[in-house]
Amino acid sequence: MRNRTKLFLTLIALICFAFASPKKVEPKQINVVIDAAHGGEDFGSTIAEITEKQIIDQVIAKIQAFNKNKNIIIHYTRSTDRFIPLKDRTDFINTIKPDLVLSLHVNASPNSNTSGMEFYVSKESNFYEKSNLIAENFQTKFLDSNYKVAEIKNANFHILKNSEVPAVIMELGYLTNDIDKKNLVNNNEQNQIAKKIIECFSELK
């Protein structure tokens, strides 16, 4: 009987212990590669003095500065203003094997009325479905903030097709559209975009 009581008390103690100190679940580390488009002699879309690579570098500097989440580790295909061939970019991405590669660009069109953000994923990627889900999350996040965002498009760009991880290209807006251009070079707008991108990173699973 005494033994049984002992056993009973031990069991109660164990159960209490199990409930009192639940195992701490370490937050998941999220690895992202940001692919800064163009660089060096490759300016990307250019209107007067404004260049695509310059806008992208400004937004990336803000992402870097605003990311206070120690569980979001961001790697960059280029950290200086120099040209990196596409193959070197995907070789780097495939070595890191991040949870996402986000390639940032700024658009241009012969039609000055064309405007808004765009997201691209590739159906030829083995990670098409995951990429599409992530792009949908980005799209929703920016639509909620009153950005004009187009449907997610399918394209077989090198980065999308050859990254062996989920990959999304994000076009921040059109330099050839007056309103987009004004926003793209605006400090506050760039801050908002950078913050939204970090929010999307934190939701990667």
Within 91-130, which residues bind Zn ion (CB under 5 A)?
Answer: 105
Instruction: Tell me the three state secondary structure of residue 184.
Output: helix
Least CB distance from residue 24 to Zn ion, whole Å? 43
Beta bridge partners of 39: 42
Orientation of helix 128-144 relative to helix 187-202, angle to 10°: 130
Name the CA dihedral angle for 196, 167, 119, 50, rounded to a multiple of 10 degrees. 70
Q: Which tokens in the block code for residue 134? A: 């992530």
Interacting span for Zn ion (CB under 5 A) from 32-40, 88-96, 152-160, 175-183 = 32-40
- Minimum distance from residue 42 beta carbon to Zn ion (Å): 9
Least Cβ distance, residue 38 to Zn ion (angstroms): 6
Cβ closer to Zn ion: 32 or 37?
37
For tokens 């120099």, what's the residue? 82
Toward Zn ion, which CB reaches closer, 39 or 44? Answer: 44
Within residues 133-172, the interface with Zn ion by CB under 5 A covers none
Cα–Cα nearest to 89, from 20, 140, 163, 198: 163
The count of residues interacting with Zn ion (CB under 5 A) is: 3
- Using CB under 5 A as the binding rule, whether residue 39 contacts Zn ion is answered as no
Q: Which residues of 15-46 are buried (b: 16+ CB within 10 A; e: fewer)?
A: eeeeeeeeeeeeeeebbbbbbbbbbeeeebbe
Among 32, 33, 34, 37, which residue sits at the site for Zn ion (rule: CB under 5 A)? Answer: 37
Candidates 33, 34, 39, 44; binder of Zn ion (CB under 5 A) is 44
Binding site for Zn ion (CB under 5 A): 37, 44, 105
